[in-house]
Amino acid sequence: MRELHDRDRLAGALQDARDYTLAIYAHLDEAALRFPYVRTVNPPLWELAHVAWFQEHWCLRWRDGAPRRDSMLADADRMLNSALIAHAERWRLPQLTWPVVRGYLTGVLDATLERLAGDSHADLYFPLLALFHEDMHAEAFLMALQTLAMHAPRAREDAGSLPRGSTVACAEAVFEGGVFEMGSRSRDDFVFDNERCAHTIALAPFALAATTVTQAQYRAFVDAGGYAERRWWSDAGWAWRVGAGALQPRHWQRDGSGWLVRRFDRLEPPQADAAMMHVNAFEAEAYAAYAGARLPTEAEWEFAARAALGAAGDRYPWGVAPPGAGTVNMDNRFGRPLASAALAASDSRSGLRQMLGNVWEWTSSPFLPYPGFEPGPYREYSQPWFGDHRVLRGGSFATRSRLVHNRWRNFYTPERNDIFAGIRLARSLAD
């Protein structure tokens, strides 16, 4: 967002990110912040301290390609650099108490804001990097609470009532395809390294569903025995399903002849029109096959999101204006996914609803570097994950709205079903 290149607004965003981070865990005491090892989450006190370390490293210590001063926290580099400490070791750091971590978070942010205000020539790239890094971890904090069946954060005071679904102009949007320039060209608006370099892609005609798959639609697949039907699954998907013993989606459990779905620490009946969530890439592919469709490639997704906008105004599916309050389901405003057909104000120019927000959308594309890729200063952001991760697009209800846009790439391994991810169907069109 170009407005964040204003120092005062950037300072406000950094403070907002910290307030938001602390609010996610504000309802938990220190005992609740310590729990046994779980492979897919980080221990909260370590992850909070890591957020502070990352900001300190890039905004206060980094000079000319190396850190030039000691950390405010003793032994911080060994403990908190995620590239250096094994995941299991992060659980064995008793010195990271809540008072220590809270003091470190406060001290680093205060020093960062002071430097931002006092050095008019400082490169804003690193404060922006720290801001967006913290925004990404905020979603990971919410994922951890869901994974661990812990209480959800307190509801936002400005949330209001849950928006209902509304009429969708068409079931799918049809695209003629053609040649377009995919990815980002410059750093003018802050670009993560995996968005570069912009390159030409040719696409055949395709169609994309106007909305993501709902819980009712996915339930039909489950109730039809879809998890036991080998024909719907890829080889890798079937191997995962058998190995995991999966017979239904994660967080679903039988309730007599029906189902209950766990949302954080509460069980509730499925909401028929709500976006399906917590499916992995294999489950998404199996459902798509069952529905006579497929997952979109990430090039198709980006082409559809930017269609009919023109290069000057194609940051968001609806145009150049940033997301407004209540126009997209992001920032954990409502605390959950909405109806797939809710929020008509989020429609793209092609009629696609909620391309940004609500649930992440799996694509069929492996996470690979674009032509001409060069790692950014934070070299571990993308480069280690090429090849075995899958691309997701769009954002979820838990994603910060200032973070994502039409070119933004998320990436996870395809078996991960702890992500706030769902499904948008695609199909190829005959010539």
Distance, CA of 399 to CA of 55 (rounded, Å)? 19
Residue 120 pLDDT exceeds 80: no
- Position 187 scores a pLDDT of 56
Residues 6 or more apart whose CB falls under 8 angstroms from that of 109 comprise 14, 15, 18, 52, 55
CATH homologous superfamily of domain 161-431?
A: paralog of FGE (formylglycine-generating enzyme) (3.90.1580.10)
Q: How confident is the model at residue 69 (pLDDT cuts 50, 70, 90)?
A: confident
Q: Look-up: residue for tokens 């320039």? A: 181
- Position 326 scores a pLDDT of 80
Residues 6 or more apart whose CB falls under 8 angstroms from that of 271 comprise 215, 339
Using an 8 Å Cβ cutoff, are 69 and 60 in contact?
A: yes
Looking at residues 308-332, what average pLDDT do you find? 89
Q: How confident is the model at residue 109 (pLDDT cuts 50, 70, 90)?
A: very high
DSSP 57: I
pTM for this entry: 0.96
DSSP 23: H
Domain boundaries, the chain: 2-147, 161-431
> In this predicted model, what pLDDT tens digit does every residue of 42-62 receive, in sequence order?
999 999 999 999 999 999 998
Looking at residues 352-371, what average pLDDT do you find? 98
R_g over Cα of the chain: 21
Q: Is pLDDT larger for residue 90 or for residue 163?
A: 90
Q: How far is CA 323 from the centre of its chain?
A: 16
DSSP 61: I
> In this predicted model, what pLDDT tens digit does every residue of 73-85 receive, in sequence order?
999 999 999 999 9
Q: List the structure tokens of 189.
A: 């608006």
> In this predicted model, what pLDDT tens digit does every residue of 173-200 receive, in sequence order?
999 999 999 999 875 678 999 999 999 9
* Backbone dihedral angles phi then psi of residue 9, each to the nearest 5 degrees: -70, -35
Distance, CA of 6 to CA of 4 (rounded, Å)? 5
| Average pLDDT score, the chain | 94
Q: HSE (CB half, 13 Å, CA atoms) of 56?
A: 22
Proportion of the chain above pLDDT 90, given as a percent: 83
